[in-house]
Structure 1
Amino acid sequence: MKKVLKFGLLLVLVIVVGVVVYNYPRLNIITGFSAKSVCSCTFEANRSLASIEKGDNGFSPINLATNKINFEEKSVTSTVFGLKARKAIYKKGVGCVLLSEDFKNEISFKPNRHIIEKKLPYPFGVLPQKDTVFTNVNYKAVNKAVENAFDKIGDSVKKTRAVLVIYKNKIIAEKYAEGFDENSKFLGWSMTKSITSAVVGVLAKQGRVDIHQTNLFPEWENDQRSKITLNNLLQMNSGLAWVEDYNTISDVTKMLYLDKDMSKIPLEKPLVSKPDSSWNYSSGTTNLISKYIRNQFKTHQEYLDFWYKELIDKIGMNSMVLETDAKGNYIGSSYGWATARDWSKFGLLYLHKGNWNGTQILNKDWIEYTVQPTPTSNGEYGAQFWLNSGGVYPNVPKDLFSCNGYQGQYVFIIPSKNLIVVRFGLAENPIFNTNQFLSSISQSIGLEQ
C-alpha cells in the first residue's frame, strides 16, 4: 500500500514538474493575463473571484494561475506554482494596468470625463425608452432567437452572457445570463479596435488627419516603412510583420503582457510585403494607430481627454472605460469596457451614419469609407470593422458590418434592417452559431407596412 502511495505521489510530482517545465517560457504571459483579467473583472466589472476563475480565466493554461486580490491597494498578484509573479493595479479612469517588474507604481495619469446625463429616453439619454410596438416585428421569433443564444440550465456550451436587440432606436429584446444585468460592464476585447478607428474619424472630420498621409512616425523616416499610409494601418494591410497568435509566445502576447509601451513592438517591426498588397490581422497595428493619435496632441492629457470628450461622452457611453498600458497609452486593440446598452450606442452611431440625435460626430463619408472592403481581405474587413460583403454569414444581409472581439463579443450593425444586435459571451463560431443567431433575428423583422 505504501509503495502504491509513493508511486502515486511520485507520478503527481512528475506531472506537476512536467506542466511547469512545459509552460515555464510562457509563465510571464500566463500570470500577466491572469492578473490583468482578474483585476479588471474585479474592480471594473464588480465580479467575484470565483466567477472570474470559472469563466474568464477558466481555460488552459490560464487556469494554472493562482490569484490573490488586495482590496485595500486595489491590485491583483498572480503566480503559477509560486513562480513568475505578475501584478496589475486598478486606477480609476484608466482601469487596471499590468505592471512590469521594474515599474514603481507611479500611475498619475487619467482622462477628464465630460459626462452629461441628458433627460431624454434611451438611447439618447438616461430616461427609460418609450414603449413602442412595431407591427412588422415578429416579437415571438425575436425572443426565441435570443433565448436560443443562451445555454439551457446545466449546460455550458454557448456561454452567452448578454444579448441586446435594437430596432429603430428601441430595445425589442434583452436578456442576460445569471450574474449579469443591464448595469454589468463587458470587455469588448477587439471591439475596441472599432473605437480607435472612430477616434481617427473624428480627427479626420476636424481636418487634423488625412488617411492617405505617409511618414507616420519619425522612426520610419529613413526606410520603406515611410510609405505606409494611415489607411494601410486602418485596413491592416501595411505589410508589417506580425504574428497574432494567443496560444504561443507571439508578437501579440508579448505586446499585451510583457511591454510597458504597447506601441514599441509593432513600431519596430520590418516590412515583409508591399503596403496595400496583403491583409494581416494585427492588434499591433491598432496600437500603432493609438500612438499616431497621441502624436497629434501637444500634451498627453489632451490625448487622454480627446477620446472621451469628442466621441465616447458625446454619445452617452457613460459606463465606458478605455484601459491603458503602463505608459498611459490607450490599448486601442483590446481593452474597452462598457455595458451592453452603451456598446449598442456605438453601433447606433454608425447605423445613423455618424449622426447622434442631430449632432454629426463622424462624417457620412467616414462611415462609407469604414465599410469599404480592404484589398485581399475577401470582403471580410474594412477600417477596423468586420464586414459581411463577402458572405461570411450567408443567411444575413450583405450590408452587415460589425465590431468583433475575442471569444465572441459583437456589435452587429445591419442598415437594411435598421437593426443593432449586441452579444457578449465566452464562445464563438462554430460553437456559437453566429449565422443562425443573426439570421433568426434578421428574418423576424418584416417589411414596414
Structure 2
Amino acid sequence: MQKFEEAHKLYFYSLRMIDEHAPERKQIEALMLKTKKRIIPPKRVDPLTVLAPELVSMILEHLDLQSTLRFIQVSKLWLKLGSGLSRQWKNLNLTVARRPVSLSAVRAFVCRTNGGVKEASLARINPTVIPKVLELLSRCPDLNYLKVTAEQKIDSLPVVNLKNLKTLIVLKCTLSRDKFWDIMSSCPRLERVEAFVDVSSDTPGSLPQLSNLRCLRILFSHPPGYLVTGNILFQQPELREVISNLEELHFEGVPSSPWAQASYGSEYSALKKFTCMRRCLHRLLASQHAGYLRLEHCTFAPPLQGNPLGQFSRLKSAIFQFCYPLSPDMLETILVNNEKTLTHLTISWCSDLAQEHLEPLITRGLFRSITHLDISGVIGVNDAITPLIINNMPNLKVLNLSATRISGLTIKQLVDAETPKIEKIVVGTVSRDAIEYGLSQNIQVSQLP
C-alpha cells in the first residue's frame, strides 16, 4: 500500500510540473487514477441487490441441485432471496445435473422444502437409490408430477402411495403388467401416464378405477418372437368403465419387434386423439369423436373386416407415415367422411399411394378444407400436380413436397398464385434460385436432403 501512495504522490507532482498540452499528460493521469483505486477501492456491491427478482429467479432455475443448496449458504441475504423464490423449491429437477446426484443431496432438498415439492424429474441419479428417493417423495403430499428417466436401466420400480400425483412418466424401466396396474392403483388421481410395459407378463384379475385418466401413452416391450394377441394391455371388457374419460391414447411397439400383431378396440366415447406406432393391426375401432389420428410404421393384417378407417368422421388431423398398406380406397374414405373438418393431412412414404391416386381425389374437391398437406415420399409426385393443388386447395398454407420429383417450377407457381396463400413450402432437391425467389416473396422455403 505504501508503494501505491508514493507512486500516487509522484504522479501528482508530475502533473503539476508538466505543461497542460504535453502528450505525456494523459498517460500520467491514467496511471494516477489506477493507483488511487488501489489506495481507495470502490465500494463492492452484492449483485443480487442490483438484479431484479425476476432475473434472479431465472438464474436459479438453471442451477443444478448442488448449486441451489450452496446458493442459500453464501450469506443471509442470499438465503432470504433463495427462500423467497418458492417456485425454485417446488421443482426437484435433476435433468440439469452435471454429475450423478447423491441421495443426501435429494434428502437435503426435500427437508429444506419441508415436503413442499410439487414436481420431480429424476435423472442423473444412481438407479439403486431411486426406491429411497421415491420413498422421500411419498412424504410430499402436494407432488403432482413425477418423471423418472435415469440414464441406466432400472430393474424395478417400487409402488409408493402418491395420492395427488397427476402425471407419471417412467422411461428406462420396463414394468410388468401387474406392477404397472399396482402403480396405477396407488395413484388414483392420475391424468397422464407414459410407461414401458412388458406385455408378456400376466394381467391382474381386477383393475383400479381411473376415472381421472385423460392421456395414456404405452410403449410395449416383449421378448423376440412373442405374439401379442387380444387387446394387449387391455384384455378385460370392463376397461371401458375403468378409463371411460380417456381423451388421448398412444400405443408404440419397440423397434426390436416392430410388427407384433394386435387388435385395438378403443371404443371410448371421450377419446379425441389416437396414435399407434410400429404395430400390425387386425382391426381398429375408434371413437367417432376422435379429432386426431396417427398411424406410423403400421400395417393391417389380413383378412380386413371392412374399411378399418371408416368409423372416423370428425378428424381434424390425420397422419399416416410408412403406413402399409394405406390404400387409395382408405384415403378416399378418410377424405369423404371428414370433408368438412379435416385440415391437417400427412400421407408420407405410403407405398400403395401414388400421384395417379391423388389427382382424381384433388379434382373432386376432397382436399378443399386442407390447410397443411404432407405428401413427401409419395410415388410419382412431380410438377404436374401443382396446377391441381392451386385450383382445388384454396385454404392450403403449408405444403411438404420433400423426397418427390418436383422442380423449382412448382415453387414459382405456388408463390405467384393468388390462391392459395402459401406460407411454408418444404422441398427436396431444387435450384437455389427457386428457393431464393420464394424467400424474396416472404414465403418460408425449407430444403430437406
TM-score (norm 1): 0.24
| TM norm structure 2 | 0.24
Name the structure, 1 or 2, with higher relative contact order (CA <8 Å, separation 6+): 1
